[in-house]
């Protein structure tokens, strides 16, 4: 279970972790925090023994993504990701860059984002011009990602079980959009509880606002972890 550190800077992140006694828990670092703090926040989290999912969703021409991933591999985090819509060659080059920096002690796993959990059938039809449904597009992109060398996908929990049936059992599903029962959905559309995620085949979950905006974040974290475990 990865805790989304959706904070604007190093100090707010550090204060939240230490104030709520969450040192060492697996965490997700996204664009907002990484673009502000870069290696500083990654090094701090590694020093505190946090497993890290670096959620940057790279999407560019294959050469650019390959070079960027070659640099990101030096952080030796657990997971990094690209957008599956970037295509097979981009995914292959990203994976190759990570493997070139891997060792017997560590290899960063590559995830490919299928369809964002903020999107639904209407959005992908009207805004993206895609003719398939969300479920159909997610499955298509999952198979593309697997055949291109990715270690797994980022998808909604509602698609995890279908992906498990379509792809190899070792192919991982990372599912964001996780909320505790009483939490608001905010800008996420395809959401679920930790318990539902576990029952529906998620290998890893990402949970953020239900914990970071709770009155008692440590208690909320323990509740979520209890449901997930």
Report which of 165, 157, 143 is spatially closest to residue 191, judged by C-alpha positions.
Answer: 157
Residues 6 or more apart whose Cβ sits within 8 Å of residue 139: 159, 162, 163, 166
- Catalytic residue flag (residue 198): no
Residues in the chain: 229
3-state secondary structure (DSSP) of residue 56: strand
Spatial distance between the Cα atoms of 110 and 153, rounded to a whole number of angstroms? 8
Catalytic residue among 14, 36, 46, 57, which? 57
Residues 6 or more apart whose Cβ sits within 8 Å of residue 43: none
CB 192 within 8 A of CB 178: yes
Residue positions annotated with a catalytic role: 57
């Amino acid at each position: 279970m990865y805790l989304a550190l959706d904070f604007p800077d190093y100090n707010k992140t550090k204060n939240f972790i230490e104030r709520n006694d969450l040192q060492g828990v697996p965490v997700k670092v996204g664009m907002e925090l990484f673009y502000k703090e870069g290696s500083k926040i990654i090094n701090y989290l590694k020093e505190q023994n946090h497993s890290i999912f670096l959620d940057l969703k790279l999407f560019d021409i294959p050469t650019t993504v390959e070079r960027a991933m070659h640099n990101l591999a030096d952080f030796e985090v657990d997971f990094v990701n690209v957008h599956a819509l970037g295509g097979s060659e981009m995914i292959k080059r990203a994976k190759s860059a990570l493997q070139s920096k891997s060792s017997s002690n560590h290899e960063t796993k590559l995830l490919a984002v299928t369809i964002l959990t903020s999107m639904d059938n209407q959005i992908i039809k009207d805004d993206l011009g895609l003719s398939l449904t969300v479920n159909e597009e997610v499955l298509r992109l999952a198979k593309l990602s697997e055949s291109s060398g990715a270690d797994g996908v980022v998808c909604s929990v509602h698609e995890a079980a279908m992906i498990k049936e379509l792809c190899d059992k070792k192919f991982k599903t990372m599912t964001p959009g996780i909320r505790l029962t009483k939490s608001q959905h905010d800008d996420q559309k395809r959401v679920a509880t930790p318990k539902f995620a576990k029952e529906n085949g998620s290998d890893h979950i990402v949970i953020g606002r239900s914990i970071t905006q709770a009155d008692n974040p440590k208690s909320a974290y323990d509740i979520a972890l209890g449901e997930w475990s």
